[in-house]
Chain A
């Protein structure tokens, strides 16, 4: 009875305790942030508990799937389901960023010009007559409450370097991906390692740029709408890069164990590669519309 039903065509897994633990972890995680935001002393500890449980769940859940895959109980249909699931997950991420980009364009092309007196001048006359609409917005309508940034870095410095880093990392990942199942484990490992290094460098440069913006340019979360959308878009992108780096590191760990040396269905690496390319494309749009134009 404990054997999974494996008819000719379908694979149906047995019941599992990982999903419910994942729900408990997420609840603890969010409850922790909530308590933290409300300055309750237990907040950070509850949050840490949630994170720890989440890590355990991710190890356990993915570990189960990996060992099922290695034991060969999966078939072609399971592979198609995983691929479809990953594509749809990336689609939902695309929508997530599209929502933020939509907000960005609304603010830039409609909200700020309206405040500056376009379309209905009365808004500007009644509220903030001295306000002039500019983009990037350095002087806010109420600069007492929201002190605008003094200066913005050039897109041709660190942002350009970051663009090149991510573009290169997509190449190295493709290079590694091609080596899967061909027996050239060396190429695979080097490719993955290079990708991780490029991703980590990106994150380091981004963190450095954030500190620079905060300390020298007063580009903070409180710097009005420009700071808000800038950190929202680049921050969530940076978070996705971090997740991607963790995913690729996991792949490197699995490559070390020789999981990808046999020919066969290696969905995991494929899914991670899709994710990384998606994160790359988001950055190109960020560079184009937030940093450059």
Chain B
């Protein structure tokens, strides 16, 4: 309760207040404080990564080299990918987990609060190290976020070593965070909160945390081998010494594919909370939802090589990875079916979170369909490393998951801060974002099918029109997010006070607490029947 103490005794002078402020946030052990830190850091990184993306789209606005050198263009794509994945979309999910899981299961806090603080503060620490590579001699890493050897070993710039250490710290952060989340769910549930009563968001995070524990150490191992190859003369990824560059791709994608579901599952969880609320019906098929989550988690471990069809693989392996990948469409389809069936004959109202959630269902399903196209091994030889792939995974990550997290931000904002956001601005933000994001990414499918490769700063003339349209969409989408930031900041003091229930149809323990909730959510465990 030292947080409360520092807040209560307001020191007089400005420097003292600044010190008190810094001490309060750097030493925080409260799950809400840490959740807020995660969410704010994620937002900052979203704009950092977004700025890099706008540089990319500005360069691709018209053919020819306008603003950046080809090598710097490569560092832009690399840093954009790394910052968005590790700095934005993973932390935003962890931020929601920190805020919500203790409230949803009826606990006062996370099980290991000090570890929680360390998980968070490793994130800005690692981000600083990662971003500092931009200012080093030889430039930042320029081999894409996939860090393929030998681009990252033999040909990587000197700053690659610092990127490796940043990844190590991010890995420690994720593993500690996951340990904490699983432990919290396992040991801190309120009496009567049985496994099959857990909200779907908690279930998705439980599976996500196990995925993270199963993949982050593997990534740490991969970048460690990279470090050794770069500095100590080993031959892990060098065929001249008997190693194999494909080994890196296998290990990386063993991490990389479950990583996709690490990002997606919490988003599924958020959508599964929002749609029932605004449909005023309980979630359709709770059990199948839980089963589908576990199944997706399991399948995600055994499909990694579909990223490597063109790298060379026996036909039997290609066939296996193709079919296994397509199998993931089944549990994902179950989820989409359940969301739609929850809405079916519900008394739906279209507040901003519901709008984002419905847009998520549409656009994520579309992204899933292009995913099935990419899974077809013979066809993949045409799509591979083209803008079609870029369009596919941006539909997953931006049109899908980012929309889900925006939905979550609007949905729980009144609960977190006790004030309603501005509904009118929310709707403007929604429509601007939805239209512009499709203008941004939809044409990229055509570019890819027509043969435009990814990660190039210049392109042939037949690709001009679609790139032009895409860049316009990018700038509109990027700047519309400022409306969101303005809404979040201004409503903090000017918004109408929110009731405890907030949404008419909302169910779950978090809505029984006051808005904003008390510092330690549940001092005594509530009874769940």
Residues on A lying within 8 angstroms of B by beta carbon are 1-5, 7-10, 12-20, 22-24, 26-27, 30-31, 33-34, 37-38, 61, 77, 80-81, 84-85, 88-89, 91-93, 95-96, 98-100, 102-103, 106-107, 110-112, 114-115, 119-120, 127, 137, 140-142, 145-146, 221-222, 224-229, 231-232
Contacts and interface: CB of A to CB of B under 8 A. Distances in A.
Nearest to A226: B242
A77 B188 contact: yes
Contacts of A231: 234
A69 to B, nearest CB: 14
- Closest 10 CB pairs between A and B? A146-B241, A225-B242, A19-B118, A142-B240, A111-B244, A96-B217, A30-B165, A228-B234, A224-B241, A99-B218
A221 B228 contact: yes
Contacts of B5: 1-2
Interface stretch (B88-96, B175-183, B400-408): B175-183
A78 to B, nearest CB: 8
A120 B97 CA distance: 49
Contacts of B240: 140-142, 145-146
A5 B236 CA distance: 52
B302 interface: no
Contact of B4 (A1, A30, A103): A1
A220 B121 CA distance: 38
Interface in B221-260: 221-222, 224-225, 228, 231-236, 238-244, 246-247, 250-251, 254
Given A7-B108, A85-B180, A228-B235, A15 B217 contact: no
A225 B215 CA distance: 24
Contacts of A84: 111, 182-183, 186-187
B158 A38 contact: yes
Interface stretch (B21-29, B71-79, B349-357, B421-429): B21-29
Interface in B507-529: 520, 523-525
A7 B188 CA distance: 13
B139 interface: no
Contacts of A4: 1
Q: Which of B217, B254, B524 has the most CB of A within 10 A?
A: B217
Given A85-B115, A127-B239, A80 B121 contact: no
A100 B221 contact: yes
B220 interface: yes
14 contacts: A9-B525, A13-B114, A14-B2, A15-B24, A20-B26, A20-B118, A20-B121, A31-B165, A84-B111, A103-B236, A111-B247, A137-B242, A221-B228, A228-B235
Given A31-B129, A103-B221, A115-B244, 6 more contacts: A15-B117, A20-B26, A88-B213, A140-B240, A141-B240, A229-B236
Contacts of A9: 524-525
A88 B210 CA distance: 9
B1 A1 contact: yes
Nearest to A81: B111
A15 B524 contact: no
A3 B1 contact: yes
B358 interface: no
Looking at chain B's contact residues, the main secondary structure is helix
Given A10-B108, A115-B239, A222-B233, A15 B118 contact: no
A9 to B, nearest CB: 6
B172 interface: yes
Interface residues of B, number: 81
Contacts of B168: 30
A27 B129 contact: yes
Contacts of B238: 146
A98 B522 CA distance: 40
Contact of B114 (A18, A89, A99): A18
A183 B1 CA distance: 37
B118 A22 contact: yes
B242 A107 contact: yes
B308 to A, nearest CB: 13
B125 interface: yes
A232 B229 CA distance: 11
B169 interface: yes
Contact of A15 (B29, B128, B224): B29
B2 A15 contact: yes
B59 interface: no
Given A9-B525, A23-B122, A226-B242, A102 B165 contact: no
A5 B312 CA distance: 59
Contacts of A85: 111-112, 115, 179-180, 183
Contacts of A5: 1, 108, 520, 523
A24 B122 CA distance: 8
B236 A228 contact: yes
B162 A34 contact: yes
Interface string B93-135: 0000000000000011101111101100110010011000000
Contacts of B15: none
A140 B233 CA distance: 14
A17 B27 contact: yes
A146 to B, nearest CB: 4
A221 B2 contact: no
B214 interface: yes
Nearest to B214: A95
A236 B213 CA distance: 19
B147 interface: no
A20 B27 contact: yes
B8 A1 contact: yes
Contacts of B523: 5, 7, 10
A248 B326 CA distance: 49
A34 B165 contact: yes
A14 B369 CA distance: 49
Given A34-B161, A102-B251, A226-B242, A1 B112 contact: no
B217 A93 contact: yes
B380 to A, nearest CB: 20
A224 B250 CA distance: 20
B235 A15 contact: no
A34 B234 CA distance: 18
B64 to A, nearest CB: 36
Contacts of B236: 103, 107, 225, 228-229, 232
B375 interface: no
